[in-house]
Chain A
Amino acid sequence: MADLTKTRAGQAGQPGRAGPPGQEGTGRLAQVRSGLRAYRLISAMWIRSLMAYRLSFVMSALGNFAVTAFDFAAILLMFSQVDRLGGYALAEVAFLYGASCTAFGLADLALGSMDRLGRRVRDGTLDTLLVRPAPVLAQVAADRFGLHRLGRLTQGALVLTYALVVLDIDWAPLKVLMVPLMLVSGAGIFAAVFMAGAAFQFVAQDAAEVQNAFTYGGTTLLQYPPTVFAKDLVRGVTFVLPLAFVNWLPALYVLGRPYPLDLPVWTAFAPPPVAVACLALAGLAWRAGLRSYRSTGS
């Protein structure tokens, strides 16, 4: 019954959307605008559909909050036994944790549904998205938009606030600026990981779970200070998959802590260009994946 309502809502949402302009000359900007518009309309439709079962929504948002809060509970339990972990105090780890979870939460809220792509490829329902007059990326990203993911975002933001209150930081203007910059760029980097993961699912299909190692695994890794991990692992997440730019480098700048791998201090300001580069690469990967798509034909 629930599914039926949702399908109906899906169909009802469709005709209301104006098709993109037919002319090619309007350029990239118009394309982006039509993509964002499609994303907004489709996600708004899913939110309306979610709100039809309000109690269920509240429960799943609370559940989402609690699941992520457990990661922090583990850290609190660890600190019930020790005063420092890898040389970092609880408030500092909370800062890293809050930054990682908030950045990830933003990306997860916007693009978290993309991990359903493998299923759509498998059962052939991706075809319906291909024939609609809206960018496929926007449709896939907004598909079954999960507002309950606000739970994770809220939890991360609360821990970040706690850390900012408790920490004794000498706030220079650059450090103040660094916090929002870190969250936005970090969300960008995680968004690129989600997109690349979705592109991978065109090829891998059943292997959807692999991307969890980089998304959920990535945010778990970043919750702890880099001093905890082996050098090679830190090198890998700095130079190969640049997760270190999500929170480690900018947060260590704010905390005034030494950098891993003897990296120069200016790397703290690298996250925005790194995020842009990651998104561009992920966009290319997405395009290659979409081009390689062959329908199931059934």
Chain B
Amino acid sequence: MKGMRVRAGRFRLYAAVAEGGFRRYATYRIATAAGVFTNTAFGLILAYTYIALWDERPGLGGYDQAQAVTFVWLGQGLLTVMALMGGGFEGELIERIRTGDIAVDLYRPADLQAWWLASDLGRALFQLLGRGIVPMAVGALVFDLALPADPLRWLAFLLAVALGALVSFGLRFLVALCAFWLLDGAGITQVVMLAGTFFSGMLLPLNVFPGALGDLARALPWSALLQVPADVFLGTHTGLGLLRTYAFQLGWAAALLTAGRLLQAAATRRVVVQGG
């Protein structure tokens, strides 16, 4: 009985943290509008380059032209959701580790990882609504997009996005914790951001990558952030294939979150608080 009450209290706490994360980003409306404008501009430019590419090689990577253009707009819509170019919680956590404020966080009666996860999921939800919908709508107005007619596929896509957000958090939490050892997290943040841009499909859909590079890219966790949700949206995975896709995302999420826990335990054991 008592255990259940504690659990319900925990849930309320993290729900409040997530809501805070959502609201925090929702506050800056003009910045959001500016971001939407920029995402849309990039979407337009990239869409034309993809059209040129698929004009030259129709059916490249198993996509038709409409699917390829849809992929561009999905990429622009999910760019901030998955924090592919940074801009999530990690900069803040690194700064707290660097300054020593992390000591205060470790005192709190809440788990470090769960706290930041909740906050980051709140942020991701806002970015999905605030920065995902408008570029997609503009894309659909200007181009012929392959939008799913089946409402179930939209739901399947949302689930893939949610799992992708977990993987994205798992990756960035590991990066942030490296600051316990490195203090300056700028270098590793940049390296991981580069890997994320390259291997998520943001640069070019992974099914266009040649041979072994493509196989490697599809096996790495970054593919769970954009390539996998986009493929679910475009209807590449259905039935058993869809379940396998979810399992792939879940597997990476579990592995990364577990690694995050272990690293967190190691870090808090060895932590010498900065700034004293």
**B60 surroundings in chain A (CB, below 8 A):** 81
Q: Is B204 an interface residue (CB 8 A)?
A: yes
B220 to chain A, nearest CB (A): 16
**B186 surroundings in chain A (CB, below 8 A):** 56, 59-60
A213 touches B203 (CB 8 A): no
Q: Taking A78-B204, A206-B28, A228-B49 as contacts, is the C-beta distance between A85 and B194 under 8 angstroms? A: no
Q: Is A210 an interface residue (CB 8 A)?
A: yes
A217 touches B42 (CB 8 A): yes
The count of A-to-B residue pairs whose CB atoms sit within 8 angstroms is 100
B53 touches A78 (CB 8 A): yes
Q: Is A233 an interface residue (CB 8 A)?
A: yes
Query: Beta-carbon contacts of B41-61 to A below 8 Å, as 1s and 0s?
Result: 110111011011100110010
**Cβ contact of A233, chosen from B48, B52, B203, cutoff 8 A:** B48
Residues of A207-239 whose CB lies within 8 A of B: 207-210, 212-214, 217, 220-221, 224, 227-230, 233
**B34 surroundings in chain A (CB, below 8 A):** 204, 206-210
Interface 9-mer from A63-71, A158-166, A245-253: A63-71
B52 touches A228 (CB 8 A): yes
Q: Is A84 an interface residue (CB 8 A)?
A: yes
Q: Is A240 an interface residue (CB 8 A)?
A: no
Q: Taking A81-B57, A209-B35, A228-B52 as contacts, is the C-beta distance between A204 and B30 under 8 angstroms? A: yes
A213 touches B38 (CB 8 A): yes
**Cβ contact of A77, chosen from B37, B44, B203, cutoff 8 A:** B203
A73 touches B198 (CB 8 A): yes
- Taking A67-B194, A217-B42, A233-B44 as given, write out 6 further A-B residue pairs in contact, using a Cβ cutoff of 8 Å, ordered by the A residue number: A59-B187, A67-B197, A81-B208, A86-B52, A213-B37, A228-B52
Q: Is A31 an interface residue (CB 8 A)?
A: no
Query: Beta-carbon contacts of B166-209 to A below 8 Å, as 1s and 0s?
Result: 00000000000000000010110011001001100001100011
**Cβ contact of A85, chosen from B53, B187, B190, B191, cutoff 8 A:** B53
**A59 surroundings in chain B (CB, below 8 A):** 186-187, 190
**B35 surroundings in chain A (CB, below 8 A):** 209
A16 to chain B, nearest CB (A): 30
